[in-house]
Amino acid sequence: QVQLVESGGGLVQPGGSLRLSCTASGGINSVTYMAWHRQTPGKQRNLVATINRGGDTVYADSVKGRFTISRDNAKNTVYLQMNSLKPEDTAVYYCNLYGYSGSVLANYWGQGTQVTVNS
């Protein structure tokens, strides 16, 4: 029932910017945190950034100072603003929600959106 829909991916030149969005719908009773992860073929999925219920944020060292995670609780949406993009940022980006649906605590994932940084 819970669904996360992502948008905003695409092709951008090095040094450019992109903003990803993820909107959650369905029977979520309580959110512990939302996060963005990224993954390339043959590699593990790595954490990019998280934001908890109080708005506290955590970033991977590789994106610190360049990416900003934010949320809009009224719209049940999380964003990832990506600036000064590098080719190493190329990956499929996944939205993640960790929270309760009824009495069950679980992770929910978006469908993924491709970000390609290439000149």
Q: How far apart are CA 62 and CA 72, in angstroms?
A: 25
Provide the pLDDT for residue 29: 84
Percent of the chain with pLDDT over 90: 82
- Cα–Cα distance for residue pair 2/97, rounded to 1 Å: 10
Can you tell me the distance from the alpha carbon of 63 to that of 54, in angstroms, rounded to the nearest whole number?
21
Q: Is the pLDDT of residue 98 over 90?
A: yes
The residue written with tokens 């992860």 in the block is: 37
C-alpha dihedral over 5, 68, 42, 33, to 10 degrees? -60
Mean pLDDT along residues 36-54: 94
pLDDT at 74 over 80: no
**What is residue 30's predicted lDDT score, i.e. its pLDDT?**
86
The closest alpha carbon to 20, from 70, 75, 90, belongs to 70
For every residue of 19-48, DSSP letters joined together read: EEEEEEES---EEEEEEEEEE-TTS--EEE
Of 36-40, 55-59, 71-75, minimum mean pLDDT range: 71-75
How much is the average pLDDT of 28-48?
Answer: 93
pLDDT band at 63 (very low <50, low <70, confident <90, very high): very high
**Sequence-separated (6 or more) residues with CB below 8 Å from residue 77:** 21, 22, 23, 24, 71
Higher pLDDT, 44 or 1: 44
